């Protein structure tokens, strides 16, 4: 019989397990347990600490967030100054650094550690007896700000070191960053909440660390990578910088895994070139490579000059932000019709290339950043990412600067540009005709729930458009075996199969045809409602917004999209070409009586007499709505064999449950 641990023992055991799994996840990037198991350990520890508050300690994993908001940050005097680095901007300056080092040391060759220069905020962590005591910013190098309560919220910062052998007082230095993925998620959340977007990951990281309320910092996706030690008292460290970094990793601190030891100048240049090529595939921003003399005794021999060490240098990448002038603002049309304002710039060299255009994202962003034609702006480019206008130098605005005016007609196809109230993006309404949207329109038209054209995949669509074999979706029905067989990976047999699939697709249903047109917000369910209500295409084309809004589940936004789509002559022209190609569907009379209109059903489990798709179709013919989720508004859940969680939810909400036999009786009645 297992002996039950007392609460204190179990709490300590759980803390050790969580620290270990944090180490596997944040330091080694090699988790051993799934998230669900980690959450279970966390909840058990949290429950025990709530039941036994006397067992709570500052280094417990549950205590990362707890401090009250501050009025201001206190000052921290660095016991060992946090010095900056000299920079090398080309191979010649790096060569001069290596020459000076070798001459001072009277050596023919020196070994360096080579590591990425992360673009974040330098931070110092002070541990006493393995427990995090304080976190501080670099500040001016001598004095920084006390940000202890904020660094405690960063999960890659251990509140307590693991293992043993660490000095009694250990000050670790590193960079706090936000990854590319974290930055994207942060800005998406800000946009959804109507908040100001961050300009770049570095600004986001710096602003997050300087929040007076740690609860705000805890919601930001901050990470930390350690790159050195400032103070080590009451213990010994290895005598090589590279070995110290390995020791830090062993104590649970995160260190970049791609750090290397290199000998001689050419190896330094090779590492720089390698990292320059990898730069855009890294999960975070870097702005160069740092080279440090690896042996600590040689570092001490070289010493310092002014505010920088003689034994280290940062070989910088080309600048990613520069100043230039906006000479015009055009708009581009994306593959889904999105209209994007683009600034035309006086050419400027940014991030290794000459930039002449930069995205302004959307009309609201142009207004928020207050970009005028003639303005001097800061432009940012990160590798292959499209350059963007970061901000405007308002004090340099000339008197003749002009505000941007969003066009009302698509510059590609001359269709109306539509912007629905409450939405950020404006769009071209010529979806079937607009050249910019051609590939996306064809891909959607051929998809399974639309015209279901077997064999017409994305790669083939690209070839058809790029070889100018079709101008719009109607052109699919003018293709022949000869023109198709000449395309890459086609051949005569594949070409004949596609022609047969195109011929078969001509016999369709009105709801599939409506869905294939790609009208905004008109999914397959809405298309079915429209087909059921109108019976044929003609009455729908002539329908007003008020008439459309009389149909259940069609609100003013969808109604406006439908009317705008059919108002575009180009779209009507394509539809007529499709009808001339003999695309057809059975015309149905609108049901005089739909007994299940206003009722909502949910299907779960497998049915024996008919498929769930058939049951859905039969219910919809009688006016019912068939939903994929259960709510208090659900009329009934129809449960077949082996029903899923929907049945349990229905029972918990008191929603009626029908058997397959009940369904058959309902349909017969």
SS (H, E, C) 122-147: EEEEEEECCEEEEEEECCCCCEEEEC
Look up residue 501 and give its two tokens.
């699939």
Helical ranges in 146-283 per DSSP H: 148-151, 180-192, 201-209, 214-218, 241-250, 264-278
Name residues whose C-beta falls within 8 Å of residue 393's C-beta, 6 or more positions apart in sequence.
Answer: 323, 375, 376, 377, 378
In 44-118, which ranges are E strands? 75-77, 87-88, 111-118
CB 114 within 8 A of CB 185: no
Q: What is the DSSP letter of 133?
A: E
In 401-466, which ranges are E strands? 402-403, 417-418, 426-428
Angle, alpha carbons 269-271-274 (nearest 5°): 110
β-strand partners of 599: none
Nearest to 82 by CA among 136, 153, 132: 136
Nearest to 621 by CA among 665, 589, 653: 589
Q: Which residue has the tokens 């960053």?
A: 177
* Catalytic residue annotation: 117
Distance of CA 169 to the CA centre of its chain: 40
CB 323 within 8 A of CB 376: yes
**How far is Cα 290 from Cα 314, in angstroms, rounded to an integer?**
4
């Amino acid at each position: 019989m297992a002996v039950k641990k007392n609460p204190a023992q179990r709490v300590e055991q759980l803390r050790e397990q969580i620290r270990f799994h944090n180490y596997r996840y944040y330091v080694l990037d090699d988790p051993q347990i799934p998230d669900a198991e980690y959450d279970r350990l966390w909840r058990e520890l949290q429950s025990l600490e709530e039941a036994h508050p006397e067992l709570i300690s500052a280094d417990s994993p549950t205590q990362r967030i707890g401090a009250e908001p501050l009025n201001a940050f206190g000052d921290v005097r660095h016991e060992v100054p946090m010095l900056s680095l000299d920079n090398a901007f080309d191979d010649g300056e790096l060569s001069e650094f290596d020459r000076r080092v070798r001459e001072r040391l009277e050596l023919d060759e020196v070994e360096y550690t080579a590591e990425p220069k992360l673009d974040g905020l330098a931070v110092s962590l002070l541990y006493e007896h393995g427990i995090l005591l304080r976190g501080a910013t670099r500040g001016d190098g001598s004095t920084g700000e006390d940000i202890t309560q904020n660094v405690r919220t960063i999960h890659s910062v251990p509140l307590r070191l693991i293992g043993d052998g660490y000095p009694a007082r250990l000050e670790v230095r590193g960079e706090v960053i936000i990854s590319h993925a974290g930055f994207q998620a942060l800005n998406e959340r800000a946009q959804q909440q109507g908040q100001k977007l961050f300009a770049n990951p570095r600004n986001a990281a710096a602003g997050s660390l300087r929040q007076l309320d740690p609860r705000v910092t805890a919601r930001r996706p901050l990470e930390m990578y350690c790159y050195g030690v400032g103070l080590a008292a009451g213990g010994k460290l290895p005598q090589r910088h590279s070995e110290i970094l390995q020791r830090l990793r062993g104590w649970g601190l995160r260190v970049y895994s791609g750090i290397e030891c290199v000998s001689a100048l050419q190896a330094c240049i090779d590492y720089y070139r390698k990292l320059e090529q990898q730069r855009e595939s890294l999960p975070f921003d870097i702005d160069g490579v740092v080279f440090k003399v690896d042996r600590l005794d040689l570092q001490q021999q070289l010493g310092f000059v002014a505010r920088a060490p003689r034994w280290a240098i940062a070989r910088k990448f080309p600048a990613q932000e520069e100043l230039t002038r906006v000479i015009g603002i055009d708009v581009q049309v994306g593959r889904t019709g999105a209209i994007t304002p683009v600034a035309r710039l006086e050419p400027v060299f940014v991030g290794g290339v000459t930039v002449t255009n930069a995205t302004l994202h959307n009309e609201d962003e142009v207004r928020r950043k207050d970009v005028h034609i003639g303005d001097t702006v800061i432009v940012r480019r990160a590798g292959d990412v499209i350059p963007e206008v970061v901000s405007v130098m308002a004090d340099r605005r000339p008197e003749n600067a002009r505000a941007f005016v969003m066009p009302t007609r698509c510059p590609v196809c001359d269709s109306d540009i539509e912007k629905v109230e409450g939405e950020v993006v404006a769009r071209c309404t010529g979806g079937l005709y607009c050249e910019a949207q051609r590939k996306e329109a064809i891909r959607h038209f051929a998809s399974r729930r639309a015209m279901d054209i077997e064999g017409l995949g994305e790669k083939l669509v690209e070839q058809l458009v790029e070889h100018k074999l079709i101008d719009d979706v109607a052109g699919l029905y003018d293709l022949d075996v000869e023109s198709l067989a000449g395309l890459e990976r086609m051949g005569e047999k594949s070409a004949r199969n596609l022609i047969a699939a195109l011929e078969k697709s001509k016999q369709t249903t009105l709801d599939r045809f409506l869905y294939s047109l790609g009208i905004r917000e008109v999914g397959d369910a809405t298309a079915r409602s429209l087909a059921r209500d109108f019976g044929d295409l003609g009455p729908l084309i002539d329908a007003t917004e008020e008439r459309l809004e009389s149909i259940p589940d069609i609100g003013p936004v969808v109604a406006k999209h439908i009317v705008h789509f059919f108002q575009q002559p180009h779209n009507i022209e394509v539809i007529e070409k499709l009808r001339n190609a003999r695309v057809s569907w059975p015309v149905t009379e609108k049901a005089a009586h739909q007994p299940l209109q206003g009722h909502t059903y949910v299907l779960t489990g497998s049915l024996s007499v008919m498929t769930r798709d058939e049951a859905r179709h039969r219910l919809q013919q009688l006016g019912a709505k068939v939903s994929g989720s259960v709510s208090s508004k659900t009329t009934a859940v129809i449960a077949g064999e082996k029903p899923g969680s929907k049945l349990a939810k229905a029972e918990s909400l008191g929603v009626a449950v029908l058997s397959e036999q009940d369904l058959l009786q309902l349909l017969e009645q």
